[in-house]
Amino acid sequence: MAKSKAENIIAGLSMEMVVPATPQEAEAGDVVVCGRDSYFPDDIRTFCAECGEAIVHRPHAPANARKICVDCAHVLIAADDKPVIMATEQTMKEVKAFILRKKGAH
């Protein structure tokens, strides 16, 4: 599946832009950026709070933050000259494990 323009922009964000977040800081966040594809068996399927597109998020995602798709996140990021992008330790561990699994599959 081809990536959308927004997915390419999000993918181009440098890791230096990602701020480590405690679970409490994550809970205070405004939104959780969610993907379209499911990579874990316990992913939660829902719909983007902005556009209604089908998305998935992890079960440990902050409960009160709006879940939005990558395209809607791009709009928010583009409108903010200094967006704060946070990731919890749990999220980073899962991303690392996913990347390592993918590398091993090739």
Per residue in 29-86, pLDDT (tens digit) is 889 999 999 988 999 999 999 999 999 999 999 988 999 998 998 888 888 777 777 8
Report strand pairing: 54-57 vs 44-47.
Answer: antiparallel
- What's the confidence (pLDDT) of residue 55? 97
Report the distance separating Cα 73 and Cα 12, nearest Å.
Answer: 14
Would you say the C-alpha torsion 37, 99, 30, 9 has a positive or negative sign? negative
Domain boundaries, the chain: 5-105
pTM: 0.73
pLDDT digits 0-9 by tens, 14-26: 556 678 888 888 8
Instruction: Measure Cα distances from 8 to 2, 42, 90 in Å.
Output: 10, 26, 24
User: Of 70 and 9, which is predicted with more confidence?
Assistant: 70
- Hey, CA dihedral for 78, 98, 52, 24, is it positive or negative? negative
